[in-house]
Amino acid sequence: MPKKNKYWVVIPAAGIGRRMGSNVPKQYVSVNGKTIVEHTIDNFIGRKEIENICIAISESDKHWPALPISKNKKIITTIGGSERYESVYNALCALKDKANDDDWVLVHDAVRPCLKKSIIDRLITDISSNDVGGILALPCFETMKKVNNNRHIEETINREIIWRAQTPQVFKYKKLLLAIEKAINENIHITDEAMAMELLNYKPIVIMGDEKNIKITHQIDLKHLELFLKDTL
């Protein structure tokens, strides 16, 4: 009988989020009675296939311990780093004694709460037969321009080959750990997990994402979350 896949979730939540312009880090901005990070965690906490959710928070974080969800037995907390990939790496290290090398790890942005259950289902199904993993992403429909430092257009890029990365990004535990370790050791600044995997010459697959699965960045995005929560009631 084949071994059943295990799934773990990593949520880097140590950021400050200055662009939001609020007096708390944006993951702790409240919408409809819950913080953004709580809405994000809600997408995973009730899923039976998820073993644990590891949240990487800032060492000086005073907001997380006050949240009721922080006491949930399914949640593990670790200290994050100054960069997102350092937080992800610390979270992976916190799972070292729990996760097997071939377990799947879903890395998801703390401020990407508008995630439909059907999208997670699709992601898990589509990567199940893959040995590396993949990411949610959206094809680009706009005309794409390569621009220099003076904002002059240098060329038009073929949009057929451009996809916009989202999260969750899902990879095998050991491969992702080694990939991020390589980036840290070689002082390469990576902006997502797929980029780390590319450094080891892996070719993750892209899985169709969802336009609603936005990253909350500005005040106007809070209205998007309100509407999403209303639609999913």
pLDDT tens-digit readout, 51-78: 999 999 999 999 999 999 999 999 999 9
Helix (H, G, I), strand (E, B) or coil at 18: helix
Higher pLDDT, 23 or 127: 127
Closest CA to 95 of 121, 75, 110: 75
Q: What angle do CA 101, 94, 185 make, to 5 degrees?
A: 75
Tell me the C-alpha distance between 31 and 24, whole Å.
13
Neighbour-count burial of 148, counting CB atoms closer than 10 A to its CB (0-12 exposed, 13-18 middle, 19+ buried): exposed
Range with lowest mean pLDDT among 11-25, 103-117, 156-170: 11-25
Give yes or no for residue 20 having a pLDDT over 70: no
pLDDT for the residue 1: 42
Note whether 52 and 75 are within 8 A (CB).
yes
